[in-house]
């Protein structure tokens, strides 16, 4: 059944709305990831959390690919490109994001990560020769301003840990590097294969770091019931399913336009934080959400061709 669904999904890949739905679903999962990560960090450090998250994702993905015959052979000459992509994400990105979240709130972390679309077009224009229309650029600006509105309180103050902000901005830079390498991979392999490989290589990268930096004491697992659910959600939904949907959308939209969807991450984080009673949903956040959505729509508009 899953194999038939996958074939049906691929047959619809040329329909534009499917691409956008995939992008939105990935952002919903990543918006929730900031909440789930914060919950796990109450018991485990970021490095251990990320390693276990990748273990869960790798087990899940390996089972799905081989049980339903969706695995794809990876050529040796492409392993270097996979290794580079995995170095950016999940390795460096998760380290910076993890310790950034350790020192800030979920909504602030999500809002800073949403700056990825502003940096990506610059890199894409240099390395990939991608071009955006004036309307697309306007969408980027409006969406970014919406994120900034969400970060400012009623006294026009921005309150966040400097250490946490620096870690998160480093994650933004790394994510842009990942986007550039991902463009090449999406031309060679299916989204499922890309996600599976980057999780495996990323997990290998984290093994020595986890051994050096973390101490798995009995107390870490004594209260496993308090974080096992969010940990499994991080592995299955955020590191497996969301990355697959993202790679699919990325392959159809390109680096600049696909990354604009990152602006939806703080929107969903804010909504779910409010629903779960983690953070108040003030008027500035509502205004920011509206601006982000409007900017996203502008960024995806295509210039109409003039018939001669």
Could you count the other beta carbons within 10 Å of the beta carbon of residue 264? 23
Q: Tell me the per-residue pLDDT of 249-258, one tens digit each, with 9 for 90 and over.
A: 888 887 667 7
- Is 12 part of any domain? no
Q: Which pLDDT band, with edges at 50, 70 and 90, does 158 fall under?
A: low
Tokens of 165: 């902000």
Please say if the pLDDT value at position 259 is more than 80: no
Please say if the pLDDT value at position 265 is more than 60: yes
Tokens of 172: 């933004």
- Is 89 part of any domain? yes
Alpha helices in the chain (DSSP H): 2-11, 16-41, 46-67, 79-86, 93-102, 106-113, 116-127, 134-151, 162-186, 191-213, 218-222, 228-233, 242-253, 255-259, 264-275, 283-300
Tell if the pTM clears 0.85, that is, is over it.
no
What is the mean pLDDT of the segment spanning 186-208?
89
Q: Tell me the per-residue pLDDT of 281-307, one tens digit each, with 9 for 90 and over.
A: 677 777 877 787 787 777 666 654 434
Q: Which pLDDT band, with edges at 50, 70 and 90, does 230 fall under?
A: very high
| Percent of the chain's residues with pLDDT above 70 | 79
- Is 287 part of any domain? yes
Mean pLDDT of the chain: 79
Structural domain harbouring 32: 23-300
What is the mean pLDDT of the segment spanning 117-136?
69
Say how many domains are in the chain. 1
- Is 6 part of any domain? no
- Is 5 part of any domain? no
Q: Tell me the per-residue pLDDT of 81-123, one tens digit each, with 9 for 90 and over.
A: 999 999 998 899 989 988 888 888 777 777 777 777 767 776 7
What is the mean pLDDT of the segment spanning 216-229?
73
Compute the C-alpha angle 241/242/245, nearest 5°. 90
- Is 146 part of any domain? yes
Please say if the pLDDT value at position 148 is more than 80: no
- Check residue 77 and give its pLDDT: 92
- Is 72 part of any domain? yes
Q: Residues 6 or more apart from 282 whose CB is under 8 A from it?
A: 153, 154
Write out the DSSP string of 213-277: H----HHHHHTGGGTHHHHHHIIIIIIIIHHHHHHHHHHHH-HHHHHGGGGHHHHHHHHHHHHTT
- Judged by average pLDDT, the poorest of 38-42, 155-159, 193-197, 207-211 is 155-159
- Check residue 231 and give its pLDDT: 94
What b/e readout covers 105-115, taking b as 16+ CB neighbours within 10 angstroms?
bbbbbbbbbbb
Task: Give the orientation angle of helix 16-41 with respect to helix 106-113, to 10 degrees.
Answer: 140
- Is 51 part of any domain? yes
- Chain centroid to Cα 299, Å, comes to 19
Please say if the pLDDT value at position 10 is more than 70: no
Look at residues 66, 70, 102, 97 and name the one whose alpha carbon lies nearest to residue 202.
Answer: 97
């Amino acid at each position: 059944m899953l194999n038939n669904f996958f074939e049906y999904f691929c047959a619809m890949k040329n329909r534009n709305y499917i691409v956008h739905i995939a992008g939105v679903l990935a952002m919903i999962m990543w918006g929730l990831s900031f909440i789930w990560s914060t919950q796990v960090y109450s018991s485990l450090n970021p490095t251990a959390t990320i390693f276990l998250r990748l273990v869960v994702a790798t087990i899940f993905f390996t089972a799905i690919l081989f049980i339903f015959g969706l695995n794809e052979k990876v050529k040796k000459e492409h392993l270097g490109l996979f290794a580079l992509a995995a170095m950016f994400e999940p390795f460096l990105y998760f380290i910076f994001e993890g310790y950034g979240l350790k020192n800030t709130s979920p909504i602030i972390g999500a809002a800073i990560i949403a700056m990825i679309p502003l940096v990506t077009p610059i890199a894409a224009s240099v390395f990939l020769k991608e071009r955006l229309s004036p309307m697309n650029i306007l969408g980027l600006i409006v969406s970014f301003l919406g994120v900034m509105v969400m970060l400012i309180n009623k006294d026009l103050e921005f309150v966040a840990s400097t250490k946490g902000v620096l870690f998160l901005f480093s994650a933004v830079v790394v994510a842009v590097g990942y986007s550039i390498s991902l463009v090449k991979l999406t031309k060679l392999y299916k989204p499922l294969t890309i996600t599976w490989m980057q999780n495996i290589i990323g997990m290998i990268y984290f093994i020595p770091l986890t051994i050096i930096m973390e101490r798995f004491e009995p107390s870490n697992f004594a209260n496993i019931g308090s974080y096992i659910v969010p940990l499994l959600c991080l592995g299955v939904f955020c590191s497996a399913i969301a990355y697959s949907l993202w790679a699919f959308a990325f392959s159809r939209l390109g680096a600049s336009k696909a990354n604009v969807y990152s602006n939806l991450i703080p929107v969903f984080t804010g909504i779910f934080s409010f629903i779960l009673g983690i953070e108040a949903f003030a008027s500035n956040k509502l205004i920011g959400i509206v601006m982000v959505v409007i900017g996203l729509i502008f960024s995806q508009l295509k210039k109409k061709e003039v018939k001669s």
